[in-house]
Amino acid sequence: KAGVTQTPRYLIKTRGQQVTLSCSPISGHRSVSWYQQTPGQGLQFLFEYFSETQRNKGNFPGRFSGRQFSNSRSEMNVSTLELGDSALYLCASSQGQGAGNEQFFGPGTRLTVL
């Protein structure tokens, strides 16, 4: 099975712009989660989608949003970019929402905000 794929892998934007990141989960996986990774804050949970519905959201401002499509693919959007949004954004998929389901991560999208 193909793993989790994320596009693009690298992105450079300027402050005030918006960006959309894409994630394709492993075939058959219906749950998609997004994380932000920075050297200072580590890995922080953004949100989780299951069956096209946002099931959980982390402590991020409303500029961060996402959605999931009927084929389980997911996108996240960040509007009005700030310098502090520079990070590695990781997408993870799992078969279900159960606590015991391990998540499988994509390679990430490296976002740099100038």
Partner 1 sequence: AQSVAQPEDQVNVAEGNPLTVKCTYSVSGNPYLFWYVQYPNRGLQFLLKYITGDNLVKGSYGFEAEFNKSQTSFHLKKPSALVSDSALYFCAVRAFSGAGSYQLTFGKGTKLSVIP
CA pair distance 74, 69, nearest whole angstrom:
6
Q: Binders of partner 1: how many residues, by CB under 8 A?
A: 24
Query: Site for partner 1 (CB under 8 A): which residue of 26, 76, 90, 111?
Result: 90
Q: Pick the binder of partner 1 from 50, 66, 87, 113 (CB under 8 A).
A: 50
**What's the helix, strand, coil split of the chain in %, to 5?**
5, 55, 45
Please tell me the distance from the alpha carbon of residue 82 to that of residue 15, in angstroms, as a whole number: 5
Least CB distance to partner 1 at residue 54 (A): 9
CA distance 35 to 93: 11
Closer to partner 1 at the Cβ: 51 or 80?
A: 51
Binding site for partner 1 (CB under 8 A): 4, 33, 35, 42-43, 45, 48, 50, 55-56, 58, 90, 92, 97-100, 102-108
